[in-house]
Structure 1
Amino acid sequence: MTGIVDDFKNAFRKQNNGLVQIILINVVIFLVMITLFWIFKAADKREYFMSLEENLYLPGDIKKFLFHPWTLITYFFVHSLEGPFHILFNMLFLYWFGKLIDEYLGSRRLVNLYILGGIAGGISYLILANLIPGFSNSRLLGASGAVYAVVVGAATLMPNYTFFLFLLGPVKIKYIAGFYVITSYISLAVNGENMGGNIAHLGGALMGFLFITQLNNGNDLGRPISRFLEWVKGLFQSKPKMKVTYRSTTTVTTKATSPTYSGTPDDDEIDAILDKINRSGYESLTKEEKQKLFRASQKN
């Protein structure tokens, strides 16, 4: 048990580990919610658990939301307790597609995209809930909108990247993302099934597309999120003591090195990289080789 706790602490101490941290937060909250549900049920205090839900789930009623504005954030870290599949599929898709965002854009932008996707999904839900009579009595929970943002963001960034799917073989991720977006749209427009969830999916998907396209144009939509998180992080960090230092007048010239690859790989380089993947797997590639593979996929 001590080893598990230490691993958990290390996951949050480790730098640039946003993907694992998001998954851990979701899983821990899910387990805590299940535990509290059974405790309150056994104590015949179900109303206490319902009160907790009201402070975590996003309400469709705009008046209730104005008194619980934090639910625009908390709802996409809380999942349905009716079964494990809701959180299981969300976390699997987050991991598969989030790894690509993390690898090519970094942990910070992955976290920003996840949060922006969840917010966009929540706002889309609030708008729909208050446009349709009687629908404002519903509530929204789950990370699906945030996950859709990551899925569509990865597909926008690397549309020709290929996943090997069971029984289907190699499939480009732009088709995987397109399938899920179209499925949510059809469910919303035709069946009217899970309207709140599906509009949140589409809102998150739109944010994923806008985040990457704007980033390619030099505009980082996640910058305000980064600044806010840095501010929050600073609240829990002790300020270093003031030290007096003396600077030398000697000028030292250093040569900066960067692993970022900006050239255009030729066919021989790509063939060599693909051979390495076949021999040792994708994880064996260096960051430069991964960036070469990414640039090659953008040419196709």
Structure 2
Amino acid sequence: MFEEFKNAFSRYNNAHVQLIIINVIVFLAMAVITVVSTISQFPEIGEWLHLQVAIPAPFEAFIYKPWTIITYAFVHDLSDIFHILFNMLFLYWFGKLFVEYLGSDKLISVYVLGALAGGLAYLLVYNFIPFFMERVPLLGMIGASAAVYAIVVATATLLPDYTFFLLFLGPVRIKYIAAFYIVISILGTVQSNAGGNVAHLGGALIGFIYIKQLQAGNNWGRWVIVLIDWVKGLFKPRPKVKVTYRNEDTASKKAAAKQKGPSISQAEIDAILDKISDGGYESLTKEEKDKLFNASKKQ
């Protein structure tokens, strides 16, 4: 594990660790800004920053902050260390297994798709279902749970009988672990963190669909990697164009040398081809073979 984190961004198939590091860095950065702004008696700075990355429930607020449908999945509750702790533990356990079979690119795709699906589910219930519309949260939603649920369910769908050894429980198939957390989230849709649990279910659903589509030959997440590679390309320095000049006389000589060889007329070529047609290539003499070879180079 130490080596995985030490060489996180140079190690092959290490996206699960890279995502964990990004989440932890964001968490620490948000924590420092919040603490400093509070001590400086400007707590509104931390509050403002939270609002810029959390996905708001009302559509009329979300349309002014469309980036939050992805940023919320990299931010965690600063007052609850267990929020990020458990998300990162599950991301490590299931993500490590996922990349062993499908690789880092697909893990990143599922993480992003899970975040998008969770955010969309969150928006839909708070804008179209009366029960949730009466309980709209003021600060919006943050957390990687929807993205992590997508990875958990995707892994369990891919390898349902794979076994984890859990403390106090012993060997447990991962399909049962995934099922347990889905049931917990369903029950949680009518509790205090209703929107978060709806997002969990959205992420879980896309994780299941992703693997089923992948097994059918359709990679729903290919566009994610294409987009990421395009963005990376914007920041890569472009190679300098090297201009060379060629002496015209030298070029002419090379071209003339290329055309060297015994000349052959079209009639001779036709005669040789007729001979091949009648007796095959082996019926040609060495001289005829050489003529045909030289003629083919000049075409």
Instruction: Quickly name the TM-score band, shorter chain normalised.
Output: 0.7 to 0.9
1:224 corresponds in structure 2 to 223
> Is the CA contact 2:146–2:203 (under 8 Å) kept in the aligned structure 1?
yes
CA distance in 2, matches of 1:54, 1:86: 18
- Distance (whole Å) between structure 2 residues aligned to residue 243 and residue 95 of structure 1: 46
1:111, distance to aligned residue in structure 2 (A): 0.5
Aligned to 2:136: 136
Superposed, which structure 2 residues align to 1:145-160 within 5 Å? 145-160=146-161
Shift of 1:19: 1.2
- In structure 2, how many angstroms separate the alpha carbons of the residues matched to 1:137 and 1:202? 18
2:93 corresponds in structure 1 to 96
Could you tell me whether the CA contact under 8 Å between 2:34 and 2:45 is conserved in 1?
no
Residues 196 and 103 (structure 1), Cα distance of their counterparts in 2 relative to 1, 3 Å cut? same
Q: How does 1:71-220 map to 2 (within 5 A)?
A: 71-131=68-128, 132-138=132-138, 139-188=140-189, 191-220=190-219
* Contact map agreement 2:157 2:208 (CA 8 A) in 1: yes
The answer on whether the counterparts of 2:14 and 2:104 sit within 8 Å (CA) in structure 1 is yes
Give the TM-score, by structure 2 length.
0.76
Shift of 1:192: 2.9
> Which of residues 43, 53, 58 in structure 1 aligns to 2:40?
43
RMSD over aligned Cα atoms: 2.0
Query: Gaps spanning 5+ residues in structure 2: where?
Result: 244-299
Q: How far 1:170 sits from its partner (Å)?
A: 0.5
CA distance in 2, matches of 1:9, 1:147: 22
SS of 2:136's equivalent in the other structure is: helix
Unaligned runs of at least 5 residues, structure 1: 245-300
Q: Aligned-pair distance for 1:134?
A: 3.3
Matched residue type, 2:200: H
**Equivalent pair of 2:109/2:225 in contact (CA under 8 Å):** yes
**Counterparts of 1:21 and 1:167, CA distance in 2:** 30
1:123 Cα deviation from its structure 2 partner: 0.4
Amino acid at match of 2:86: F
User: For 1:14 and 1:166, how far apart are their aligned partners in 2?
Assistant: 29
Distance 2:227 2:151 in 1: 20
On the 8 A contact 1:61/1:137 being kept in 2, the answer is no
Question: Per-residue deviation at 1:186?
Answer: 1.8
Q: Secondary structure at the match of 1:135?
A: coil
2 CA distance for matches of 1:232 and 1:239? 14
State the 1:236 CA deviation: 1.4
Aligned length: 238
Rounded Cα–Cα distance in structure 2 between residues aligned with 1:123 and 1:61: 12
Aligned to 2:57: 60
Taking only the aligned residue pairs, the percentage that are identical comes to: 51
The alpha-carbon deviation at position 62 of structure 1 amounts to 0.8
Aligned AA (2:220): L
The residue identity in structure 1 corresponding to 2:197 is N
Distance 1:213 1:64 in 2: 34
Shift of 1:187: 2.0
Relative distance call for 1:170 and 1:126 in structure 2 (3 A) is same
Deviation at 1:124, TM superposition (A): 0.2
Residue pair 1:34, 1:81 contacting (<8 A) in 2 also: yes
SS where residue 171 of structure 1 aligns? strand
Q: 1:14 to 1:236 in 2, by over 3 A?
A: farther
Hey, which bits of structure 1, 4+ residues long, moved more than 2 A? 7-17, 131-138, 239-244
Task: Tell me the amino acid that sits aligned with residue 45 of structure 1.
Answer: F
